Structure 1
């Protein structure tokens, strides 16, 4: 005869030999006095579904109910019960012992974020003896999740058909081995959304992979390189690039861009065409260059940048290793957005990295706001537990 449980607040209590039967041997619940244990509702539902409990009484002196009634009652009374049950049952079926991690049910002694629903222990170990393998945050397809604080979690996304996709979110670090210093005296013309350097030295593109040639190799005009605004702003802030003119000053007798200097002029143009995102993208671009990587546009992949870690020459260019999307730390992902980014990156053999950064308003291309902006690298990839 299987034991019967009874609802006690947010949990289910089971007496008899429950401690030996469920906690000691299989890691369910937590022990109380004697042999009694307390189960979370998700754990109780799983045992009831398996037939390890004969029923659960929803109130004192009430007749025990079966799985169907208990599941519906819990779904009505408990936040996100259905999606959390699906993930719990799936991980149990994969051979993991789990502890619920939400108040009032801390996951053993594991220190986890409030958003974590379960902690899954290394296979074959119990809450008493095992190390945490996966701190699991359960997310429904139509929910959103904050970009901040995701590092170190396992995301279990449940879609509308109850299929589960797992993602690992980890602190990332991008470091390369591209050894190139741009020349100290470049002169460019600021157009509406790019800068053209008419007589760029060959190494600027061939070795540093800055910009793109304006024309083909067989053209009469040689050495003309068009830079994106983030490339140009970064070079100008390093006092490498000056501006001889812009689309506003063409025809002016002075022929030079004045004001606060070329970096400020390029940043102002970037803000005009892209808004506040330009400063964040520039801060991330600078960090990537400082890490000896080569960032190029990731437009073809729906990202801000793709990165090359070790560029010897453009003629022998390796595959890019990362796709980088720049987001504010307050950004909230939709699961569909996240799944699309990670799937696309995996499909083209790249790692999906999100760069979380906030840049204070104001300042020019050499301002402390851009130079000293904090950047948190968040790598997210598919996971099979």
Structure 2
């Protein structure tokens, strides 16, 4: 005869030999006095579903109910109970011991964030050993996930057909080994959405992978290099690029000789505060000896090369980078699309989370020279990959 549980508040108490049977042997629940244990609703439902409990009394002196009644009652009483049950059951079936990530359960002290629902221990480990393998955040397909603070969690996304997809989110700082210093005497012309350097040294493109040469089959022009606005703004902020002329730039671009302010102002005209964030991330990537190039073809802000010696011997880019604001919330569909695309082109998906530009939005503006001016701007890096537990 299997034991019966009794719902008390938000926990199910089980007596008899429950401690030895469920906690010591299989990592369910938390010990109480003697051999009694307390189970979370999800743990109790899983044991009931498996037939390891004969029933659960929902109230004092009430007759125990089976899985169906307890599941429906718990779904009504507990937030996101159905999706959490699906993930818990799936990981248990995969051989993991899990604990609810809340006090006073064992997993309460192991959870890195309040957003975590369960902690899954390494295979063969129990809650007593404390070796956590996956901090699990359960997410329904139509929920959203905060970008800030995401690193260190495992997302378990439950879709509308109750299938589960797992994603590992890790600290994803990108470091490269490209040793190139651009010259300090570049001069360009600011156009509508790019800068042309007419007499660019060959190494600026060949070794630094800046810009794109202005070439053609019948071209009689040499040394002309087109820079994106973000490339030009970064070079100007470092004092390496001056402007000899501007096309269509009004007085709002800053002082006549201030190339950085003028390029940043044009970038804001073209894409708003998003330009500030992209510039800050671009400068962080260059400062880390990586080479960022546009990720437009992949639906990203940048693709990155870690070690460029020459463009003639260019390696594959290793990352796709999307820049998002600090208050951004991902939809699971958005994450799935980005990660699937990156994997399909043999790259890792990285997100650069930054509050750059939000002050401008809230305060109504700032000096253009301040936008992304420091290569040490605050950026939180997160890489996200598909995971099979």
The TM tier, using the shorter chain, reads over 0.9
String of CA shifts for 1:230-273, please: whole Å, max 9, x gaps: 000011111111111111379xxxxxx95361110000000011
- Name the structure 1 match of 2:262: 265
String of CA shifts for 1:275-329, please: whole Å, max 9, x gaps: 0011111010001111111000001111100000111111111000001111111
Shift of 1:112: 2.7
Distance 2:311 2:188 in 1: 22
58-67 or 365-374, which moves further after superposition?
365-374
Shift of 1:103: 5.1
Specify which of 371, 381, 387 is matched with residue 377 of structure 1. 381
String of CA shifts for 1:18-65, please: whole Å, max 9, x gaps: 111101100000111111111000000000000000111111111111
Shift of 1:363: 2.7
Q: Which stretches in structure 2 are left out of the alignment for 5+ residues?
A: 361-365
Instruction: Report if the CA contact (8 A) 1:101-1:112 is conserved.
Output: no
Q: State whether structure 2 residue 353 is matched by structure 1 residue 356.
A: yes
Instruction: Report if the CA contact (8 A) 2:148-2:380 is conserved.
Output: no
Instruction: Report if the CA contact (8 A) 1:6-1:56 is conserved.
Output: yes
Distance 2:370 2:116 in 1: 40
- Name the structure 2 match of 1:316: 313
Q: State whether structure 2 residue 209 is matched by structure 1 residue 209.
A: yes
Q: How does 1:89-168 map to 2 (within 5 A)?
A: 89-102=89-102, 105=105, 107=107, 109-168=109-168
- Name the structure 2 match of 1:253: none
120-129 or 77-86, which moves further after superposition?
120-129
- Change in Cα spacing, 1:140 to 1:300, as seen in structure 2 (3 Å) is same
Shift of 1:343: 0.8
Greater than 6 Å deviation, 4+ residue runs:
none
65-74 or 240-249, which moves further after superposition?
240-249
Q: Which stretches in structure 1 are left out of the alignment for 5+ residues?
A: 251-256
Q: State whether structure 2 residue 335 is matched by structure 1 residue 338.
A: yes
Distance 1:51 1:272 in 2: 65
Shift of 1:116: 0.5
Q: State whether structure 2 residue 56 is matched by structure 1 residue 59.
A: no
- Name the structure 1 match of 2:31: 31
Shift of 1:372: 4.3
Instruction: Report if the CA contact (8 A) 1:108-1:127 is conserved.
Output: no
Q: Find the residue that maps to 1:107 and give its secondary structure.
A: helix
Distance 1:78 1:315 in 2: 60
Q: Find the residue that maps to 1:235 and give its secondary structure.
A: helix
- Name the structure 2 match of 1:285: 282
Distance 1:237 1:217 in 2: 34
Distance 1:104 1:353 in 2: 35
Q: How does 1:152-191 map to 2 (within 5 A)?
A: 152-191=152-191
- Name the structure 2 match of 1:254: none
Distance 1:90 1:149 in 2: 26
Shift of 1:179: 1.2
Q: How does 1:4-83 map to 2 (within 5 A)?
A: 4-83=4-83
- Name the structure 2 match of 1:301: 298
Shift of 1:224: 1.1
Distance 1:329 1:105 in 2: 32
Aligned residues: 379
